[in-house]
Structure 1
Amino acid sequence: MLDRIRNLFMDRGGAPAEGAHHSQDELQLAAAALLVEAACMDDDFDSEERATVQRLLAERFGMEASEAGNLVDLAEQKVAESVELFSFVRTVKDRFDHDERVGLMEMLWEVAYADGTLHDYEANLLRRLTALIHVTDRESGQARKRALAKLGLQG
C-alpha cells in the first residue's frame, strides 16, 4: 500500500490533477496528513499523539497496526514537505461523505486532546478545517464532546 501511495505522489508531484478521482490510498493519506498536522501544531508530536493517530487510522480504515504506523510515517513526511494542506483538505472534502467528514473532525479533536490539553494553534487549525471540509460549527462541537468523552476528559 505505501509503495502505491509513494508512487502516486512521485508521479503527480504531490497533488492530483484538477477533477481527478482520488484513490483509496489518497484518501487514507489525506486523512493521515490532517491528523498528523493537528498533532504537530503544538510543536510536539509525542509518542502518545503518534499512537492516537495510528490507532485512529487503523480503526477507521481497517488496517493492521504496522500498516497504520507506516502511513503515519509517510503522512509526517508529506506534511513536513508541504507548504499547504489544501490538497489534503480538497481530497477529504471531495471524497468523504458528510458523516465521514464529521467523523474525521472527531478524530482530529481526539488527536488534539491526546496529550491532555488543547493548544491554541490546534484549536485554530480545527476551526479552520471545520469550515474547509464543510462541517458546521455545531457538528464540530459535538464531535469535540464525543472525543473528550472517549478520552475521559472534560471540556
Structure 2
Amino acid sequence: MLNKFFQSFRPKEPPPAPDPDAELALGALLVRVAKSDRMYKFEEISLIDRILARMYSHNAIEAARVRATCEKLHAAAPETDTFGKLIRETTTLPERLAALDALWEVVLADDEESEGEVKIVEDARRAMGLSAADSEAARARILERNGAEPAAEQP
C-alpha cells in the first residue's frame, strides 16, 4: 500500500517528442551547435529564441516553447544529417540558406568557432544540399553583421 502511495508521486513517463518539421529540425540543430562545447549559455539560449521568433514569426513566449521542444528533440538525438535532410526536403533554397545563416549566427555568437560547432554546421550544410561556398558566404554575412572582418580563406 505504501508502495502505491509513493508511486503516485513519481513522475509519469514524459510524452514522446513530436515528429520534427523544418522549424523543429532547425531549432534542434541550433541547440546542438550551442551545446557542442558543453556550455549552453544564457546568451546562446536567448539568441536561439530570437532566431526562432524572427524566422517563424513567434512572440517571445512561443519561441521559448519551441526552443524547449527543440532541446528535447536534440536530446532524443537523431543524427545531424537527419535534421538537415528534413530541412532540405521540406523547405525552399532561400529558407535553407536562412537556416545556414542561423547556424553560423549561433556558432559566432561568442566570437569563437570550435571544431565541434563547425563540424555540426558542415554536416547540416551537406545534408541540406548546400555548397561549401554557401557556408562560407553565410559565415561572412554573419561576421559582417557582427562587425568582424571575415578571416582569409584557409587552404
Provide the TM-score with structure 2 as the length reference. Answer: 0.80
1:120-141 Cα shifts (integer Å, max 9, x gaps):
1001111121111111111110
Matches for 1:91-102 after TM superposition, within 5 Å? 91-102=86-97
Structure 2 counterpart of 1:19: none
2-structure distance, mates of 1:59, 1:119: 25
Can you give the 5+ residue segments of structure 2 that lack an aligned partner in the other structure? 1-14, 151-155
Q: Which amino acid aligns with 1:122?
A: E
1:8-45 Cα shifts (integer Å, max 9, x gaps):
72xxxx47xxxxxxxxxx22111111111111111111
Matches for 1:41-120 after TM superposition, within 5 Å? 41-120=36-115
Are residues 66 and 50 of structure 1, via their aligned partners in 2, closer, same or farther at CA, if it must alter by over 3 Å?
same
Aligned-residue offset at 1:65: 0.8
User: Greater shift after overlay, 104-113 or 88-97?
Assistant: 88-97
Can you give the 5+ residue segments of structure 1 that lack an aligned partner in the other structure? 1-5, 16-25
| Secondary structure of residue in 1 paired with 2:40 | coil
Aligned-residue offset at 1:107: 0.5
Conservation of the 8 A alpha-carbon contact between 2:81 and 2:124: no
% identical equivalent positions: 26
CA RMSD in angstroms, aligned pairs only: 1.8
1-structure distance, mates of 2:139, 2:26: 17
Which contiguous aligned blocks of 4+ residues in structure 1 show a shift greater than 6 angstroms? none
1:41-95 Cα shifts (integer Å, max 9, x gaps):
1111101111111101100001001100111111111111225234322220101
Q: Residue 125 in 1 paired to residue 95 in 2?
A: no
